[in-house]
Structure 1
Amino acid sequence: MTGRRFLIATLAASAALTAVPAYAQTSEQIGLTQYGEPIFVEGEGLPDTEGSEAYDVTELDREDLIATGSGRIEDALSNIAGFQQFRRSDSRSSNPSAQGATLRALGGNATSRALILLDGVPMSDPFFGYIPFSAIAPERLDSARVTRGGGSGPFGAGALAGTIELTSGDPQSLGAFSGHALINDREETEMTGTLAARLGSGFALVSGRWDRGKGFYTTPGDQRVPATARARYDSWSTQLRGVAPISDTVEAQANVLLFNDNRTLRFDGANSSSEGQDASLRFVGRGDWAFDLLGYVQARNFTNVVISSTRFVPVLDQSNTPSTGLGGKFEIRPPVGDAHTLRLGVDYRKSDGELFETAISAFTGAVTSRRNAGGTNTDLGLFAENDFKLGALTLTAGARADRYTIRDGFYIARAADGALQEETYYDNQSDWRGSFRGGLVYDVSDRLSLRAAAYTGLRLPTLNELYRPFVVFPVTTKANAELTPEKLEGYEAGIDLTAGEGVTLSLTAIDNKVKDAVANVTLDDVTRQRQNIDAIHARGIELSAGIERGIVRFNGSLAYTDAEAQQEGADFDGFRPAQTPKWVAGATLALEPAEGWLLSATVRHVGRQFESDQESDALPAATTIDAYARVPVGDRFAIVLRGENLGDEEIVTRNQGGSVDLGTPRTVWAGIGIGF
């Protein structure tokens, strides 16, 4: 089904929501009544505990997520200094498998070291570990809560560099109907639509988004050849969500996310696709024994065609990479007195997948081999955490035990005629790993708080890192089935200050070390391999500032991180890890001169970084300016204007031996927004 047809079908199916009489009821009329009190569902998980303030936490509201030049969730998150993907390109002009997300300059490869949750469900791909950013539409969200560092704790394994918790919106935040249709100066289009309705005491919503464009040339003009292609993209996604009370204290939440994303990168025929079907069911209890019970299943797939950069014909067809994510979480908070908040729980995740690919001769076009590789990873975590409020002092401490397995790994290669070339079955790995976290917050006054924290965490190598090699000409990166889990040790201390009415400042000093970090290690000029190195050590400062005065709002963020790769005896020992800048900064100034108006401008700076572990092939620093404007026309319509990279800064996203890719050039969008 094409993106246009899918979006039309989504909106048509959801039109029935507007006919539900309950939607016209007032908030006082909506809801079941128990003992004279109305019941209202929240559509969220359990509230954050007071102990979470011991960690470096930033919250983005709905306007922060929407008011970006690109309309992409990754750009909204980039307003928090320290957030980065493996490469500087966004989810329209990169290979999906390179969309790993991390925080605190703990990068080095394309896998996510930050855990991204959408309504409690991990969004990372079960096989690759990348984040399907094109499927996460900012206009569907109510908020994002970003915890830099903080360890695994109750979040689950994978929260190595931090956790990003995304919460979907409801009829109150999204409105009965909302959407927009935009076109840019390259005649690319973006269409969204969301319908939401109150159904008795609950609500239901359906949302669709379709992005399509011919893209821009990622290849510099002096490197283009007749086979050079624009970064074409065509993606759609839809979300179905229903929330209903099942008692006076318990609500059920059901979510379905469907998406499909197709892209072209560098050369004609170099096409990739990713698709997914995610479903989850969640029960949240808000009584004396508060609890959160979540179960989910994910079906994902990825395809990719590699084109020779010398003969411009297919040399590798990664035709099928089916994978499944299966898991859940149960957390309970027993009533232990007003001074304590006790959290007990268990979580589980299973990632299963395999790769099917065909190698092709660049000279004859004949198949040279067919390869199949894959395996299964599992993690079972048990956690306990307690917050203790003692006057102006809040203490928090928690422990976690993870039982992980890396099993059933294999690699099989056959010649074109079916003759066996290689067949390897890898040894299973399994172990228990413990992790801990704790911290304190001391409220010196109503305006000043001091905090400190220490924590550890765990991340399993992905099936991609273990079993799938890949090529970005001229470099081949080999897999490594002997990789072991990464382990985090982190310390931080910070100050949170309210300097005046609507003025907040936050300063955090960090010392984070990832032991046995998985990195793409250079073996020779054209070969790398994923290997566990001794550590990636990052020390630095994170500064945030916010101002809200009348119609003016300002948010700024800066991070300086001195990071180094550590491997005794290696030539890269002491070098900066690949793809990790020292300086990252961003600032947004927004004006809301009247009801419904929003005018904002964002400046971002990313410092110089390197393509590989050898501190070679530099990616120069880049400073970009984005803008957003929403001007109401009547009560329900608005003119929407957006600008990306308005200074037309040259953004180098890849540099391998002088073969360069570029990021988004100056792009201007205009269209109509609607909201009821």
Structure 2
Amino acid sequence: MSLFRRTGSGAANPTTQGLSLRSIAPSGAGRALVTLDGAPQNDPFGGWVIWSALPPEGLDGATVVRGAGAGPYGAGALTGVVALQERGARDGLAAFDISAGERDSYRAAIAGGTEHVLLTAAASKTDGYYAVRGLQRGAADERVSLEDVSGALRVQHEIGGVEAAARVSAYREIRGAGLVGARSVASGQSATVTLARSAEAGVGGWRLQAWVRESDLKNSSAAVAAGRTGTTPANDQYETPATGYGVNAALQGRMAAVAWEVGADLRWTDGRVRERFRNLGAGFTRHREAGGETFVGGAYVEAAYDSGPWLLTGGARIDRSESSGAIRRERDLQTGEVLLDLRPDGSSETTPTARFGARYDLADGRYVRAAAYAGFRPPTLNELHRPFRVGNDITEANAALKPETLQGLEAGVGGEGPVRWSTTLFWNRIKDPITNVTIGFGPGAFPTAGFVPAGGVLRQRRNAGEIEAWGVEGEASGDLGATASWRLAAAYTDAEVDGGGAAPQLTGLRPAQTPKWTVTAGADWRPLARLTLAADLRYESARWEDDLNSRRLNAGVQLDARAAWRLSDTAEVYLAAENLTDEELEIGETADGVESYLAPRTIRVGFSIRR
């Protein structure tokens, strides 16, 4: 799994933190659905995920479903689902972590409560690092920095055999984007209420959940002068209020070897972006408001047959997605004159999806499996209505976007034993992928978008034909005696764009930000009863920065290491190093050849408790 770019969540702009599974075609909006105990965590305006609002101290685990998700997941689960589970409530302290590191980096997090209450809180701060280095760095560049704080409270209780839970949360993060005058402030809050009864022999179970998420994003960008001698404010997105809310319900039952579930979920979003833009040197001269509403609702049925060596699963779903209330109004800040007033027509689509799978257990813990699936992702408010700028590059919105759809097949084998292993061969096709398509180069003036400066590129989000990908992925892990363990995973993906009539210039090219190879390896060793040493290595092959495959980001390796000294059964002190070898791993390249890099080596010391 990966974010849109190589940049980690500690340094990436919130708008690029959408999650995707497999290297098919990552997107800033994310092509995977992320849930927490069933409630979507994707931002209601942009589809990205604010990862600082989900500290690991408050989580108990995650279930990763690769391949399009039907069943209860529905819209957004195009390449899969990451279903997070929150830690269960318990008396006292459940988890605690505090650490300090280089470049004035600090973090603290805690989770604890009582039998029926769980409280989670986290905060961090770092002065960050320079993404542009060496002779290319100029007065325009400053550190990529971060300050964040989040908190959540869950109350749960069993009433007459019904599990009832209510959860509220809030977050705020402030990021420096690495350019003078470019920063973002993301904030939001959410609430979820869940009622559920587990299925028992002869008695059906059910689940009812309602949720609401509110978010806001302030995001300012800057134009970079020639030679990176300075910056000029390019736009000031001073608020992006958005609300998402939904309800889902399901009935469950079991008859002998067959388990079944029928259900439905409904989701609504409403959001606007308001920003000042067009700076000719004496301040902003234009104001823009853009936004709209979306709705998606669906019903599904799924069943599983589990008997002897066979596990068979199947599910089908149908969804209705709509976008409406679109507006894009631009006016002169000095005179108030309306210069652009667009009210794009609404649109609607009905999309059927399904997923079927089979697994057969062989002897000695080995198994074979296969699956076929179809999924979809409707465009977000951000993709439909919000243009944005990064440095001198401008990307236009497109209110006429259609939902993306994916069809896929996969088959695999695996085994359990001293060595746990699996390998999967897959084929996927995305139709109408929402892609940032290059349509012009600066300097020059363009309809709607306005002026693009020298060294800049104009793109627009478009449904660009198809993306076809096939690949193979495998993983293995095992123990080396009683004191050591190892893990290894590798994935190869061959993806190609067919731009069709919408973007013929992309035909035969590889989707942006999709490496062919990703390999990870790790090991843990306990040489002493109290000492644990761990290392994780990640290799990624080259990827293209842009849709035209003109800017190549080189392959790279990152090594992380950790040493922990156990103070008790639940407490330890640790020393950790990220990017231990100080590798310069490219994360971006501008149209005029300026490269930016991942964080340099970072050393941290800390203390943690886990119960």
TM-score (norm 1): 0.84
**1:46-445 equivalence runs, <5 A:** 83-171=1-89, 176-198=93-115, 203-248=116-161, 250-287=162-199, 288-310=203-225, 311-335=230-254, 337-365=255-283, 367-416=284-333, 417-445=335-363
Q: Aligned partners of 2:514 and 2:219: how far apart in 1? A: 26
Aligned to 2:444: none
* Partner residue, 1:39: none
Q: Provide the secondary structure at the position in 1 that maps to 2:179.
A: coil
- Offset of residue 171 of structure 1: 4.3
* Cα drift, residue 634 of structure 1: 4.5
Contact 1:92 1:231 in 2 (8 A): no
Instruction: Indicate the larger mover: 207-216 or 585-594.
Output: 585-594
- The question of 1:575 aligning with 2:509 is answered yes
1:192-245 CA distances to partner (integer Å, 9 max, x unpaired)? 1222222xxxx2121211110110001122222224211121101111112211
Give the corresponding residue for 2:376. 458
Deviations 1:354-404 (A, max 9, x none): 100001424112x31110000111110100011123432222111100011
Corresponding residue for residue 463 of structure 2: 532
For 2:483 and 2:77, the matched residues in 1 are separated by: 37
Distance 1:573 1:99 in 2: 27
Q: In structure 2, how many angstroms separate the alpha carbons of the residues matched to 1:344 and 1:175?
A: 38
Match of 1:477 among 395, 403, 414: 395
| Conserved? CA contact 1:521–1:531, under 8 Å | yes
The corresponding residue for 1:659 is 594
Aligned residues: 584
CA–CA distance in structure 2, aligned partners of residues 175 and 504 of structure 1 = 35
CA distance in 2, matches of 1:282, 1:592: 42
1:392-448 alpha-carbon deviations (Å, 9 max, x no partner): 222211110001111111100011121111111111111321111111111122411
Q: Give the letter for the 1:191 counterpart.
A: A
Residue equivalent to 1:41: none
More helix by share: 1
Q: Corresponding residue for 2:430?
A: 514
Q: Is the 8 A contact 2:24 2:493 kept in 1?
A: no
Instruction: Indicate if the aligned counterparts of 1:108 and 1:520 stay in contact, CA closer than 8 A.
Output: no
Which deviates more, 442-451 or 403-412? 442-451
State the shift of 1:175 in Å. 6.0
Larger relative contact order, structure 1 or 2 (CA cutoff 8 Å, min sep 6): 1
Opposite residue 207 of structure 2, the aligned amino acid is D
Give the fraction of aligned pairs with identical amino acids, expressed as a percent.
35
State the match for 2:475 in structure 1: 544
Contact 2:520 2:539 in 1 (8 A): yes
Question: Which structure has greater strand proportion?
Answer: 2
Q: Could you tell me which amino acid in structure 1 is paired with residue 331 of structure 2?
A: R
Residue 92 of structure 1 and its aligned partner are, at CA, apart by: 2.2
Q: Is the counterpart of residue 633 in structure 1 residue 560 in structure 2? A: no
Q: Matched residues in 2 for 1:188 and 1:352: separation?
A: 36
Evaluate the alpha carbon distance shift between residue 171 and residue 108 of structure 1 in structure 2; reply closer, same or farther with a 3 A threshold. Answer: closer
Distance 1:625 1:557 in 2: 15
User: Secondary structure of 1:313's partner?
Assistant: strand
CA contact (8 A) 1:230 1:264 kept: yes
Q: Where has structure 1 moved over 6 Å in runs of 4 or more? A: none
Instruction: State whether residues 74 and 317 of structure 2, in contact with CA within 8 Å, keep that contact through their aligned partners in structure 1.
Output: no
Write the letter of the residue equivalent to 1:654: G
User: Does structure 1 retain, via aligned residues, the 8 Å contact 2:149–2:173?
Assistant: yes
The aligned amino acid for 1:237 is S
Q: Name 2:453's counterpart in structure 1.
A: none
CA contact (8 A) 1:411 1:467 kept: yes
Distance 1:558 1:587 in 2: 9
**Paired residue secondary structure (1:465):** helix
The CA distance in 2 between the partners of 1:267 and 1:434, in whole Å, is 45
Q: Is the 8 A contact 1:153 1:457 kept in 2?
A: no
Q: CA contact under 8 A between 1:289 and 1:332: conserved in structure 2?
A: yes
Q: Determine if contact 1:104/1:538 at 8 Å carries over to the other structure.
A: no
In structure 2, stretches of 5+ residues that fail to align are 442-456
**Pairing 1:643–2:601 present:** no
Alpha-carbon distance in 2 for matches of 1:637, 1:98: 35
Residue 558 of structure 1 corresponds to 490
SS for the counterpart of 1:160 is coil
Please give the secondary structure, in 2, of the residue aligned with 1:436: strand
Provide the alpha-carbon RMSD of the alignment: 1.7
- Cα deviation for residue 338 of structure 1 reads 1.8
Between the aligned partners of 1:131 and 1:226, the Cα distance in structure 2 is 32
Please give the secondary structure, in 1, of the residue aligned with 2:382.
Answer: helix
Q: Distance in 2 between matches of 1:185 and 1:108?
A: 31
C-alpha change, 1:594 and 1:282, in structure 2 (3 Å) is farther
Contact 2:57 2:120 in 1 (8 A): no
Q: CA offset at residue 291 of structure 1?
A: 1.8
* Whole-angstrom CA distance in 1 between matches of 2:85 and 2:563: 24
Deviations 1:423-477 (A, max 9, x none): 1111111132111111111112241111111000010011111111111232211
Instruction: Tell me how far apart the structure 1 counterparts of residues 160 and 533 of structure 2 sit (CA, whole Å).
Output: 43
State the alpha-carbon separation in 2 of the partners of residues 190 and 146 from structure 1.
Answer: 27
* 8 Å contact kept, 2:531–2:566: yes
The alignment partner of 1:251 has SS state of strand
The one-letter code matched in structure 2 to 1:322 is P
Structure 2 counterpart of 1:552, which letter? A
Shift of 1:270: 0.9
